[in-house]
Amino acid sequence: MSSLRMVVADDGREGALVDMLKDHTGRPLALVSSPRPRPGGLRRGVWVSHAPLRQLIPRQGQVVLRATSAPDWTPEAVDAEAVLALLSPSADADELFFVAALLGLELPASMAAEVNARVQAWKAEQPPIRRGTRLAG
């Protein structure tokens, strides 16, 4: 059984990561995908990487998704396998919000309408699932 992980897309302003995680206690372990070097001022339990988001998602267990562009967005933990099934190899924060919406997580108010419209358009493009079809997993 794996422990809970927090995966953060550092897509906000410079310094937003430190502001968002200033009270982070190291539980859960925070894995950050960032184009910038690790900033000073982060507590233990925060690992900053240039790796794509998908590479930071654990293969099993629960994961909490966060983004520095929406620091007040604190969705509930979701199944890591479900996130991996939906996240593309080159996913960015926009796709993180899209996947969160597909999984039924509440979105930040500032982007809910836009992301939900993208979700509806995506669902309309998907072929219908025929009765008796086995889903992957």
Decide if 35 contacts 14 (C-beta within 8 A): no
Residue 77 confidence (pLDDT): 93
- 112 Cβ partners below 8 Å, 6+ apart? 106
pTM for the model stands at 0.79
Residue 86 confidence (pLDDT): 93
Residue 97 confidence (pLDDT): 92
Give long-range contacts, CB 8 A cutoff, 24+ apart: 37-45.
39/15, 42/17, 42/18
What pLDDT band is residue 1 in, cutting at 50, 70 and 90?
Answer: very low
